[in-house]
Structures are given as C-alpha cells and as structure tokens.
Amino acid sequence: MFGLVPASIAAAGSPRAAAALLALGAPSLAHLSLIDLAVIAIYFVMVIWIGFYLKSKANTSEEFFMAGREMTAWIAGLSFVSANLGSLELMGWAGSAYQYGILAAHWYWVGAIPAMLFLGMVMMPFYYVCKTHSVPGYLKLRYGQGASTVAALSFAFMTVLMSGVNMFAMAEVMKIVLGWDLNFSIIVSSLAVAAYVALGGLRSAIFNEVLQFMLIWGGALLVPILGLVEAGGWSGFKAQLARNIAKGVTANGDYTHMWRSMGHFADNPMGIHWTGIVFGLGFAISFGYWTTDFLVVQRVLAANSLRSARMAPVIGSFFKMAVPLIVILPGLLGLVVLQNPDGTLMHLVGENVVAANPGAGMHSYNEVLPLMMVRYLGPGLLGLGITALIAGFMSGMAGNVSAFTAIFTYDIYQPLIVKNARDEHYVLVGRIVTVVGVVISIGAAYLVMNAAGIMDYVQALFSFFISPLLGVVLMGMFWKRATKAGGFWGLLIGTLTSIGLWAWVHFYPAALRYVALSPDAKAMAEDMYRALWSVITAILVTFVVSLFGAARPVAELNGLVYGATKLPEEEPVPFYKNEYFWMILAIVCFLALNIYFW
Amino acid sequence: MHDSGISIWFFIGVILTVYGAMIFGYGVYELVIGQTANVILANLHAPVWWGGLMFALGVFYSLRFRPGRNG
C-alpha cells in the first residue's frame, strides 16, 4: 500500500503496491492514441536534448556535482519540491485520499511545511556557509570521518536500492495502466536517465526536475478542475458524499476534516493520534527527510547565493502546499464521480481484495488517479497526463542517481580511495558512477522482481537511517559541546534503536502497543513513533557521550555551529524579495489551510 | 542562469508550445468534425482551452527566455 508510507519514504515509491498490482494481471486501464504517443516521444527527445546541451557545462567537479552553484532560488526551490514528487507518490496519495479522505493531506502540510521552512531559515545558512557538498560532508566537518562514512555508505546503498525498487514499481504501473512490457519500461527509462545525468550532471537532473514539475501541473491539474465541475464544486462534492454515506453506498467516515478525529487512535481509519502526527510525522520523519536527506538538500546546496539557498525551500513550501490540489482532491472526487459501466457508483478496494477476485473487474485505491485521468482526458491530454507520470518517475530516478554519484565520489571515493587526483579525474569518476548507479538500479529492479518480499523491508531499511541522522545533525548544528565520539555513537545507537524497535514489532506484533503507545495504533503510527524514539535516542546519546569528551575549540566551529558562526550580512532588498516576508506568508497559508479543513 | 546559456524556462517554453499546439490542434479538429472523444464533459472542449492556454504560456516563456536575450 504505497499510499500509506510516510512522506519521507513515499518519495521513493510503492513497493508493496507494485507487488500487489503485479499479481492482478488485469487488462490495461488506458489506450493511447497516436497523438498521445507523440507527446510521450517528444518528452524523451526534450530530456536528451537538455542532456547534450548541458554536457558542455559540466566540465569541473563543481559544475558536475553541484551544478556550478548557479541555480536561482526559483529553480532550486522547484527542483527541491519536484525531487519528492514522483509519480508513485502521486498515485499512492490519491489512493489514500480516496480511502481515508483529507487526512492524507497531513503528509503535504504538517508533514512537510514546518520542516521546509526550518531548513531554509535556520539550517541552510550552516550547510551553505561551510561550503559542504553533501550532508555526509557536513558530518565530516563537524564530527570527523567516522560519522560521515557511516552516513555516506548507508545513503549510497539505500539510494541505488530505492532507485531500483522505484524502477520496478513504475514499470509495473506502466504495465497495468498502459499494458507496456516491464523490460521495455525499465530499459528505455533507464537509458534516458543515464544519458542525461551522465552528460549534464546535477544541472541536467535539476533542469529535468523543473520540467517535470511543470508537466505534472500541466497534465494533472485538469483532472480536479473537471472533477469539480462534474461534482458541482466543493460544496456539491460534500453534499453528494453525504448523500452516498447516508444511503450506505460509501463507507461512513469524516472525509473532509483533518484534525477532528485525531483525539484517539480508534477514532480515525488511519489509527493515528494527533501526537503521532505532530511529533512523529511533523518532526521526526518530516524534519529527518526534508533537512538531512541529501536527495533533496543537494538541490538547495546548488543555489547561487545564501539568500537563494534560504528562499528555495520557502518557495518550495508554497508549491508543496498546493500539491494536494492535484493529488488529494482527485482522490476525494473519485468517491463521488467514478462509475461502473452500468452507471452505479464504483467502489475501489484494497489490492488484496482485487487479487482475491481476478477477473471481477475491480480496481484498487491506488488506481484512482489513472481512472480519473481516463475519465476526463481525451487524446493528447491523456498523453500529457501519462507523460507527467513518466517524467515524475524519471526525475525521481535521476535525483537518486545524481545524489548517489555525488555521495560516492565526494564522501567515499575521494576520502577513502583516491585522495589527491586532478579535478578531471573526479568528473570522469562521476560520469562512470552515474552509469554504474543506473546499472545497479536495474539489477535491484530485477532482484525485487524475482523476490517481491524484499520490497516490504526496503522501506523500513530506508527509515532506519534518516531520523537518527536528524538527531545528530541538530545536535552538531546547535550545540557547540557536541563531540566527534558523541556524533558517531549517537548516529550508531539511534540507528540500532530504530532497527530494534522495528524488529520487536515485526517478530512480536503485540509490542505495537508499547512502540506506538496504544493497542489501537496501526502500522503508520508505528512508523511515526519509531522515528520519534530514534531521534530522541540519537540526541540523548550524542549529549551524554559528548559530556565525557573534550569539545572542539569554538574557533574551529565557525560556519558549522549556531553561536560560533558569523553569517555573512545580506544586502537589503525590497520586502517582496525578503525571505522572512515569504516565510511568514507561508506560515499564514499553512495555518489557514489547517484551520479551514480542521 | 541566463549568463551561462539557455535558461531552463526556455526549454519549458518550447515543450509547452509544442504540446499546446498539438492539443489545441486536436481540440479544433474535434470541433470541426463535430465528434468528440468518449470522455466525461467532452462538451466543454477542454483540449481547445487547455491546449490554447499551454500554447500561449509556452510562446510567452519561449520569447521571454529565448537564447541571447538577457532576461
């Protein structure tokens, strides 16, 4: 059920859903016309053109790995959001909205906006001023090589693995939606990604992410617009939904409010308490992903100035707040507009139900977005919608590969294998590693294809590292006394705590009541509380171990730690170019949305 | 970005222009032959106005950020 994975992980996609879809063997949902195929083909031509064009601008390591640090705030901001806007996420969260209502929007609002603003306004100056090229790079400057290597190895391993899992999952979706062959989807998309990232480096990946962002809006925005027209607007939708619930044709529940049913685990279908949403999702998971996952932070590090680096996440936050319009709203509208061929209301079900009833013509929750597309989009527009899904997948993969390339070259190859080579050497290594990363991803895709059970564990594996890393980075950035040993042991024991809690619940399900604080809690609540406990553990261990060691002189911490860093003064600008103005506006919008849908 | 060559917004302008022209053209074709695709709300002729909007936006971006113009 990829719609249910936390936002921090959902970027990586939906392994379990893909496996379930694989089992269906249902006929394809959509049939493309010639103009649709032309739209898709033009997209591939465009990305390869961009790759070749940018090859001449990726000659130095700074250009290849950091896009020359020339990105404007808008480009870095759109790329920052786009790296988290994969096609599987779009489909998964639309399915969650159909199943659970607007609760799914928590992953876009409280599960993203505070963390994005915190990154931009509080953490970005340290990442940017110390001129690090990566998050492990920051750990090296702050804590030394040990913590950096642990973070780099785990990130590199997980990135290519997730890239492969995504590749397989997306190929599965293409098979179900369009009837395309698995091998065709995997090979064609991989070759395209390998070509444009190996040619143009991070700049090429960023360009394509911005392109993808525009295509997603162009291809998907029409669906909720036409859906609202058909439903009679938002009030018409709510009235129709209420009638369906009263008639018993739609499951009872509050589909249009976000916080009212969060008072107890048993009061909402997600089995979550508001403390889990606020502290687990809103802090541990969200801050871990948006502030320390190099996949997204890399985009902001490529900004052309400190002000742009701070503005990028703020700009991104506005678009992130708007994404539910093209993801959550279509899922909700599907509750009242989707119909069977005989005119009765269509009921989407879980993958297990679909799998248990082959040939019954059932569709799963996760198919709601393609079903809505097919409902409203004719030739040309449907091709645009499908192109948006393909573009989302490819840019997500390019993001993984470009982040893997930078981490491997800067944080593994350079410090541990070849230390003092010429700049051209590292660029060449970067290009080769890009291709190798894609090849490993393909291998991982075929591995999970033949052992689908692995995929269930990959999501958990990824979550083991992110939250403890947040604890260690926060301690290093805001506490001058944190030591090298504190950082290393904090990261290690925080990670082991996360693994231990996961194993405890996995082998002894009754432990859920302890990990997630209630016997009524469900799997998602477990993810949130596990992340919270691992952050707290990492912070406590870093704190305690640091107390027993000698702190580094304050002079060595310039550019790394709050209170020991003199930030460069920014030139005064009109209020509409000031990052604080936009941050306040973002906070107002965020609060207004939560209050309106309370 | 503009100093270092073609802006990303130019690429976006080009693809929006091409897509807009294709979708708008198809929408006009539907109008002319008087037969629409078998989709809900086909009577709203979404390809015409959505394609037209994309085309207009694409042309604007292509011109505004065309190579050689310091934007």
- Per-residue pLDDT tens over the stretch A21-60: 433 444 577 788 999 999 999 999 999 988 888 888 888 8
Q: Nearest Cβ partner of A70 from B4, B15, B19? A: B4
Tokens 């929006």 identify what position?
Answer: B16
The predicted structure's pLDDT at residue A457: 66
Q: Pick the residue of A64, A79, A210, A214 with the most B CBs within 10 A to test the interface with B by mutation.
A: A214
Alpha-carbon gap, residue A291 to A297, rounded angstroms? 7
Residue B25 token pair: 């053209």
Q: How many CA atoms lie within 13 A of A575 on its CB side?
A: 3
How far B1 CA sits from the closest chain A CA (Å)? 6
Mean pLDDT of A202-225: 90
Confidence of residue A3 (pLDDT cuts 50, 70, 90): very low
- The interaxial angle of helices A145-178 and A15-24, nearest 10 deg, is 30
Alpha-carbon gap, residue A466 to A323, rounded angstroms? 24
The predicted structure's pLDDT at residue A597: 92
Confidence of residue A171 (pLDDT cuts 50, 70, 90): confident
Confidence of residue A73 (pLDDT cuts 50, 70, 90): very high
* Contact partners, residue A268, CB within 8 Å, separation at least 6: A100, A103, A254, A261, A262
Cβ <8 Å between A46 and B40: no
Confidence of residue A10 (pLDDT cuts 50, 70, 90): very low
- The interaxial angle of helices A523-547 and A484-507, nearest 10 deg, is 150
3-state SS of A14-76?
CHHHHHHHHHHCCCCCCCCCHHHHHHHHHHHHHHHHHHHHHHCCCCCHHHHHHHHHCECHHHH
The predicted structure's pLDDT at residue A26: 47
Q: Nearest Cβ partner of A218 from B40, B41, B54? A: B54
The predicted structure's pLDDT at residue A340: 87
A210 touches chain B (CB under 8 A): yes
The predicted structure's pLDDT at residue A456: 59
Cβ <8 Å between B11 and A39: no
What single-letter DSSP state applies at residue A251?
-
Of all residues in chain A, the one with the smallest CA distance to B37 is: A378
Confidence of residue A12 (pLDDT cuts 50, 70, 90): very low
Q: Give me the DSSP letters along B21-65.
A: HHHHHHHHHHHHHT---SSTTGGG-HHHHHHHHHHHHHHHHHHHT
Q: Which residues of A touch B61 (CB under 8 A)?
A: none
Q: Which of A336, A424, A359, A380 is nearest to A59 (CA)?
A: A424
pLDDT tens column, A421-431: 899 999 999 99
Sequence spans of domains, chain B: 2-64
Of all residues in chain B, the one with the smallest CA distance to A50 is: B11
Q: Is the predicted pLDDT of residue A2 greater than 80, yes or no?
A: no
pLDDT tens column, A108-157: 999 999 999 999 999 988 888 888 888 899 999 999 988 899 889 988 88
Share of chain A above pLDDT 70, in %: 93
The predicted structure's pLDDT at residue B43: 92
pLDDT tens column, A249-281: 888 888 899 999 888 877 777 788 898 899 988
A38 touches chain B (CB under 8 A): yes
Mean pLDDT of A515-524: 81
Alpha-carbon gap, residue A173 to A179, rounded angstroms? 9
Of all residues in chain A, the one with the smallest CA distance to B53 is: A218
The predicted structure's pLDDT at residue A8: 32
For residue B9, how many other CB atoms are within 10 A of its CB? 22
Interface size between A and B, measured as CB pairs under 8 A: 85
3-state SS of A227-243?
HHHHHCHHHHHHHHHHH
How far B50 CA sits from the closest chain A CA (Å)? 8
Alpha-carbon gap, residue A215 to A386, rounded angstroms? 10
Q: Which residues of B touch A69 (CB under 8 A)?
A: none
Q: Is the predicted pLDDT of residue A242 greater than 90, yes or no?
A: yes
Q: Is the predicted pLDDT of residue A175 greater than 90, yes or no?
A: no
| Strongest mean pLDDT among A3-7, A208-212, A334-338, A553-557 | A334-338
Domains in chain A, ordered, with CATH?
A: 2-454 (1.20.1730.10)
Q: Is the model more confident about A379 or about A18?
A: A379
Mean pLDDT of chain A: 86
pLDDT tens column, A304-353: 888 999 999 999 999 999 999 999 999 999 999 998 888 889 988 887 78
Of all residues in chain A, the one with the smallest CA distance to B19 is: A39
* Contact partners, residue A338, CB within 8 Å, separation at least 6: A345, A346, A348, A368, A371, A372, A375
How far B33 CA sits from the closest chain A CA (Å)? 15
A35 touches chain B (CB under 8 A): yes
What single-letter DSSP state applies at residue A343?
S
pLDDT tens column, A441-479: 888 888 877 765 665 566 677 678 888 999 999 999 999
How far B44 CA sits from the closest chain A CA (Å)? 9
How far B59 CA sits from the closest chain A CA (Å)? 15
Q: Pick the residue of A204, A384, A386, A390 with the most B CBs within 10 A to test the interface with B by mutation.
A: A384
Strand extents, DSSP E, A314-396: none
Q: Is the predicted pLDDT of residue A398 greater than 50, yes or no?
A: yes
Sign of dihedral through CA atoms A219, A225, A228, A232? negative
Q: Which residues of A touch B18 (CB under 8 A)?
A: 42
Q: Nearest Cβ partner of A379 from B11, B26, B50? A: B26
Q: Is the predicted pLDDT of residue A87 greater than 80, yes or no?
A: no
Q: Is the predicted pLDDT of residue B71 greater than 60, yes or no?
A: no
Alpha-carbon gap, residue A346 to A283, rounded angstroms? 37
For residue A82, how many other CB atoms are within 10 A of its CB? 27
Q: Is the predicted pLDDT of residue B1 greater than 70, yes or no?
A: no
Residue A556 token pair: 């060595």
Q: Which residues of A touch B27 (CB under 8 A)?
A: 380
Q: Nearest Cβ partner of B23 from A50, A226, A384? A: A384
The predicted structure's pLDDT at residue A58: 84
Alpha-carbon gap, residue A151 to A471, rounded angstroms? 13
Residue A145 token pair: 């090589």
The predicted structure's pLDDT at residue A17: 46
Mean pLDDT of A294-298: 85
Q: Pick the residue of A381, A382, A387, A395 with the most B CBs within 10 A to test the interface with B by mutation.
A: A381
Q: Which residues of B touch A388 (CB under 8 A)?
A: none
The predicted structure's pLDDT at residue A568: 80
Q: Which residues of A touch B12 (CB under 8 A)?
A: 210-211, 214
How far A248 CA sits from the closest chain B CA (Å)? 25
pLDDT tens column, A400-421: 888 899 999 999 999 999 988 8
The predicted structure's pLDDT at residue A478: 93
Three-class secondary structure of residue A259 per DSSP: coil
The predicted structure's pLDDT at residue A62: 86
Q: Which residues pair with A364 in a beta bridge?
A: A349
Cβ <8 Å between A222 and B50: yes
How far B64 CA sits from the closest chain A CA (Å)? 16
Alpha-carbon gap, residue A2 to A255, rounded angstroms? 20
Tokens 């065309």 identify what position?
Answer: B66
pLDDT tens column, B5-62: 889 999 999 999 999 999 999 999 999 998 888 899 999 999 999 999 999 999 999 9
Q: Which residues of A touch B47 (CB under 8 A)?
A: 378-381
The CA-atom distances, in angstroms, between A204 and each of A12, A54, A115, A350, A452 are 20, 6, 26, 38, 32
Q: Which residues pair with A345 in a beta bridge?
A: A339
Q: Nearest Cβ partner of B47 from A53, A210, A381? A: A381
A207 touches chain B (CB under 8 A): yes
Q: Which residues of B touch A378 (CB under 8 A)?
A: 26, 30, 36-39, 42, 46-47
The predicted structure's pLDDT at residue A268: 79
Cβ <8 Å between A39 and B22: yes
With 0-12 CB in 10 A as exposed, 13-18 as middle and 19+ as buried, what is A451?
Answer: exposed
